[in-house]
């Protein structure tokens, strides 16, 4: 039973393909991590699920099944009824993601008010309770303050409170800690995961932090160049990554238990821009296992642990 099932999703800006055939599933209550470098199409995938793509970007193919309904075919007003109530989202920049002129308490209560789930007074009450639950001291006083009076970490807690107050069934968190101090990142993520678990909310966590993935996610979906290259349960995928890209990505993380001598590992080359994506496998220009076969598009092999590669790593060292 899946809650959300994205199939062959394609997003284009005019004729330029940005997301090309992304498929992923999220089961109720599950935490799925969507991993990849900047520009790999993670955020666009998330925004397509919410139906919030910016002007000029369109979903040109595939479907987004939520609870058996294709969201990409849903009229705007029915999609709006789901947003905030069933589907919630958290953004990267906590401070600029909050309206600078509205007290944070009212912003936390927004989804309750929008969906007529509570009266203004009840919503205000619930917002204060929610602020308390995300660990904001003196929530009643803080609720009356503006985002500019709060720190970045506080603002991120506020956004988490706003997203979870309606107990949504799916929370999409787009790099929720990237803009925060390293010292509080883990704290915020744990908080988010705990509250989501309490509410039975499934989480699609977008990140490029592998440590976060290992700790929180049940399954991982690795994206490169607008496509999913590897997907599977977190433990086998981390223990034995099969796609050369995933393997290199994991090798870029410096390890404390294996002291590296000299330089840190880096994947050679840069992420090509969507205009310069190569034919076939998009990683082949940076891959050390590439062959002529790679000029054709590799399919995502079916199974629990899927990989889209003609030369997958069979035996991890």
Least distance between another protein and beta carbon 297 (Å): 32
Strands (E), 14-79: 16-26, 31-35, 57-66, 69-70
Least distance between another protein and beta carbon 300 (Å): 29
79-108: which residues touch another protein (CB under 8 A)? 80-85, 87-89, 91-93, 96-102
Dihedral sign computed on CA atoms, order 18, 24, 30, 31: negative
The footprint of another protein on this chain (CB under 8 A) covers a number of residues equal to: 29
3 state SS of 317: coil
- Rank residues 82 and 124 by Cβ distance to another protein and give the closer one: 82
Candidate segments 77-85, 203-211, 267-275, 300-308, binder of another protein by CB under 8 A? 77-85
**Distance (Å, whole) CA 18 – CA 114:** 32
Q: Does 148 bind another protein (CB under 8 A)?
A: no
Least distance between another protein and beta carbon 265 (Å): 33
> What secondary structure letter does DSSP report for 252?
T
* Those residues with Cβ within 8 angstroms of residue 264's Cβ, 6 or more apart along the chain or in another chain: 252, 254
Strand pairing category for 4-13 and 87-90: unpaired
Least distance between another protein and beta carbon 30 (Å): 21
**Distance (Å, whole) CA 118 – CA 111:** 10
- Rank residues 81 and 253 by Cβ distance to another protein and give the closer one: 81
- Rank residues 85 and 313 by Cβ distance to another protein and give the closer one: 85
- Rank residues 126 and 220 by Cβ distance to another protein and give the closer one: 126
Exactly one of 4, 11, 50, 154 binds another protein (CB under 8 A); that residue is: 50
Least distance between another protein and beta carbon 22 (Å): 20
Is the distance from CB of 180 to CB of 152 less than 8 angstroms? Answer: yes
- Rounded to a whole number of angstroms, the distance between the first and last alpha carbons of the chain is 35
Dihedral sign computed on CA atoms, order 69, 71, 72, 73: positive
202-221: which residues touch another protein (CB under 8 A)? none
- Rank residues 97 and 185 by Cβ distance to another protein and give the closer one: 97
Q: Which residues pair with 16 in a beta bridge?
A: 13
**Distance (Å, whole) CA 215 – CA 226:** 25
Binding mask 162-181 for another protein (x = CB under 8 A): x-------------------
Give the DSSP H or E segment for 206. Answer: strand 202-207
Q: Does 74 bind another protein (CB under 8 A)?
A: no
Is the distance from CB of 300 to CB of 231 less than 8 angstroms? Answer: yes
Q: Does 186 bind another protein (CB under 8 A)?
A: no
101-140: which residues touch another protein (CB under 8 A)? 101-102, 110-111, 114-115
Least distance between another protein and beta carbon 313 (Å): 38
- Rank residues 63 and 115 by Cβ distance to another protein and give the closer one: 115
**Distance (Å, whole) CA 65 – CA 103:** 35
3 state SS of 130: helix
Candidate segments 3-11, 75-83, 241-249, 274-282, binder of another protein by CB under 8 A? 75-83
CB atoms within 10 A of CB 198: 11
What are the residues binding another protein (CB under 8 A)? 50, 52, 54-55, 80-85, 87-89, 91-93, 96-102, 110-111, 114-115, 159, 162
């Amino acid at each position: 039973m899946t809650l959300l099932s994205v199939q062959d999703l394609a997003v284009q800006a005019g004729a330029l393909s940005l997301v090309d055939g992304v498929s992923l599933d999220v089961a109720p209550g599950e935490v799925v991590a969507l991993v990849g470098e900047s520009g790999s199409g993670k955020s666009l995938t998330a925004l397509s699920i919410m139906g919030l793509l910016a002007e000029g970007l369109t979903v040109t193919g595939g479907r987004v099944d939520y609870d058996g309904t294709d969201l990409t075919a849903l009229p705007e007003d029915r999609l709006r009824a789901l947003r905030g109530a069933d589907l919630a989202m958290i953004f990267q920049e906590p401070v600029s993601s909050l309206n600078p002129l509205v007290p944070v308490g009212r912003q936390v209560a927004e989804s309750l008010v929008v969906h007529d789930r509570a009266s203004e007074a009840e919503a205000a009450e619930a917002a204060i309770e929610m602020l308390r639950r995300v660990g904001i001291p003196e929530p009643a006083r803080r609720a009356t303050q503006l985002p500019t009076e709060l720190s970045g970490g506080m603002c991120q807690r506020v956004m988490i409170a706003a997203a979870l107050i309606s107990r949504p069934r799916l929370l999409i968190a787009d790099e929720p800690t990237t803009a925060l101090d390293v010292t509080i990142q883990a704290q915020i993520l744990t908080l988010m995961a705990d509250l989501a678990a309490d509410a039975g909310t499934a989480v699609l966590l977008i990140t490029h932090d592998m440590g976060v993935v290992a700790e929180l996610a049940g399954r991982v979906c690795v994206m490169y160049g607008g496509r999913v290259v590897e997907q599977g349960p977190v433990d086998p995928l981390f223990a034995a990554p099969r796609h050369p890209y995933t393997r290199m990505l994991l090798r870029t993380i410096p390890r404390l238990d294996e002291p590296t001598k000299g330089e840190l590992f880096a994947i050679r080359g840069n992420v090509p821009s969507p205009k310069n994506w190569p034919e076939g496998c998009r990683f082949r220009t940076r891959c050390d296992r590439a062959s002529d076969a790679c000029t054709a598009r590799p399919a995502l092999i079916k199974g629990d642990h899927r990989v889209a590669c003609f030369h997958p790593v069979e035996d991890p060292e």
